[in-house]
Amino acid sequence: MSTTRAWYPCRRSVVDRDRHRVLAGNVDDGLADRSSKDTTFRVARVGSYDLTGGKRRWYADLAKVAADGKQHLIADVTVAPDGTVYAVDQHTPTVFRIDRNGRASVFLRSDLLKGTVDVPTFLSGIGMTAVAWTPQNHLIIAKAGGCLVRIPVKHRD
């Protein structure tokens, strides 16, 4: 049985039962069989898939949305009550927002979210590692250095 894969998923996928879907990230951290110097940390996408059959509903290219030419590594995703998806990037201090139809935008860029943790010979400047939605309409973002950042979100439910 082959274990060949094109890209690595993000560390966490989210089941959104209200909309009957799975949300999953897709990254290239340079270790997959189809990785190259041109794709490593350049693949940063989130997809929405039907919970029962797995059919793809949408697939958002966040590196393209960032339009900054930098390396990206989507670490985690969360979903708000209205179905909006938020994704955090370990390489840049960027939080992405994706609407229910897969239209992505940059929600926030802030030096407060900039990375400071290094993994020798692999990654440097690791920033955000996880994100969660709270009932108080906040994003709680965990940084690799061990701190939490609370981001208020004006949201329509």
Whole-number Å distance between alpha carbons of 55 and 76: 21
Neighbours of 115 (CB within 10 A): 21
Residue 134's closest CA among 120, 148, 124? 148
The pLDDT assigned to 123 comes to 66
Whole-number Å distance between alpha carbons of 27 and 79: 19
Q: Please, what are the averages of pLDDT over each run of 10 residues along the chain (157 residues)?
A: 41 83 79 68 83 94 89 87 93 93 95 78 75 94 90 75
Residue with tokens 């894969």: 5
pTM of the model: 0.83
Rg (CA), the chain: 15
The pLDDT assigned to 69 comes to 82
Residue ranges with strand state E in 28-137: 44-50, 56-61, 74-79, 85-89, 94-98, 104-109, 117-119, 123-126, 128-134
The pLDDT assigned to 102 comes to 96
